[in-house]
Amino acid sequence: MNTGNSNDPRRTPGQGLTKEEALRRILEGHWRYLENRRTQKDVTPQRLQEHAEGQYPFAAILGCADSRVSPELIFDQDQGDLFVVRVAGNILGAGGLGSIEYAVDQLAVRLILVFGHEQCGAVRAAIDHVTAPGAIGFLLGELAEAVDVARSLPPPLLDRAVEANVRRVTQLLPQRSEVIGRAVAEGRVRIVGAVYRLGSGDVDILDLRDPGANAQAQ
């Protein structure tokens, strides 16, 4: 693994942050977004050259492909800060799982955020039992279990299904990946689920439990 330039925290694996510090940075960036005081981004030639030489994100985000839900904007982070995987319904397919594994194993991110949003079209289609051939059918199938869980919860159904899907994916990440599961168990990585509210701009954190909280961080 490239250890980067230790004189600059931005150029070190995980930007030198612990999992707690990474989560705090995400939440502080969101507060800036809500208060409309986003930071100015550095796009000088020197900074662009630094980006060209390597990437050092501090968090990985598995989010929905919806055009209204941009993690870099919502969490007020700069180029190179977030390793973002976006797919409709923020489902956990093989490509997304491999990408998150890469972020954990090779880029040393300390935080994985599963990021859903209200009024998700993919989740709505799963609720409506839309059928489709090929890859879209696979995508909807991945959402079916969360929809089933949501039907037993108080309404509104779409909101509960979006939340259930986020929770399901946070649970599946360490189950489907030995790399991620080991990192969580050893206390090196934290997985958090969240839902973005389109109308207000708020982000609801669904689960702050940390299975690796009692482990020795490495």
30-66: per-residue pLDDT in tens?
999 999 999 988 788 887 787 788 899 999 999 999 9
Query: What is the tens place of the pLDDT at every residue in 158-201?
Result: 999 999 999 999 999 999 999 999 999 999 999 999 999 999 99
Q: Check pLDDT > 50 for residue 216.
A: no
The order of strands in the sheet holding 190-196 is 82-86, 59-63, 111-117, 190-196, 203-207
Report the predicted TM-score, pTM, of the whole model to 2 decimal places: 0.91
| Domains located in the chain, CATH noted | 9-207 (3.40.1050.10)
The tens digit of pLDDT for each residue in 57-92 reads 999 999 999 999 999 999 999 999 999 999 999 999
Render pLDDT for 105-124 as a digit per residue (tens, 0 to 9): 999 999 999 999 999 999 99
Amino acid sitting at position 21:
E
In angstroms, the CA 81 to CA 97 distance is 19
207: pLDDT strictly greater than 90? no
What's the CA gap between 187 and 164, in Å, rounded? Answer: 25
Tell me what pLDDT residue 33 has. Answer: 97
Q: State the CB neighbour count (10 A cutoff) for residue 29.
A: 22
How far apart CA 156 and CA 176 sit, in angstroms, is: 30
